[in-house]
Structure 1
Amino acid sequence: MPINYYIFLSLTLFVIGIIGVLTRRNAIIIFMCIELMLNAVNLLLVAFSKMHYVTNVSKVTNAGSDGQLFVFFIMVVAAAEVAVGLSIIVMLFRNTHSVDVNFLNRLKH
């Protein structure tokens, strides 16, 4: 499959994530949109790694593993982000009984 399809799909997912972060007020939906953007980047990294592997298959034997290694580290960081982010959202809900991010703006004053 051509790399253009992967680029278009990744760009579409990333734009949906950005629109969700900028337009939504619910903290959980914002959090899911950030994860969607991370997965779009992961898809693009794997696609470029595969493309690089196809072009350099005769030169280096492990040329396709660089992108997958970066994706693995991004997934580890995303798992830690999920743990910390969801705990912050749960504590926010326990204290304010809302997950609206505009309510956090009112807490500053």
Structure 2
Amino acid sequence: MSNWVEACAADDVEEEDVIRFDHEGRTFAIFRSPEDEFFATDGLCTHERVHLADGLVMGDVIECPKHNGRFSYKTGRGKGAPICADLKTYPVRVEGGRVLVDLG
């Protein structure tokens, strides 16, 4: 079942960057790729629950600011230690300049 929620304006996210989005007690991360596509993942690192929006985006990778764990924000797949689990990803679409995330 779909549950599309407006996360932000497309212009709120710079190319190759991430912002934090909180909804109903949960934290998400919204990414804009160098190819101008948008992606969404859980917003906390699976290693120590640190906000990924404070991390560094390089290409299609987000690096956690605490212990430098890295994930592909396109797939959620962890890129090695100290990552202990992959990130959950969410479908994204852009309508009328707004980023919508399907939180299912």
TMscore range, shorter length: under 0.3
Please identify which structure carries the higher strand content.
2
More helix by share: 1
TM-score (ref. length: structure 1) = 0.20
* Structure with greater Cα Rg: 1
Q: TM-score, normalised by structure 2?
A: 0.21
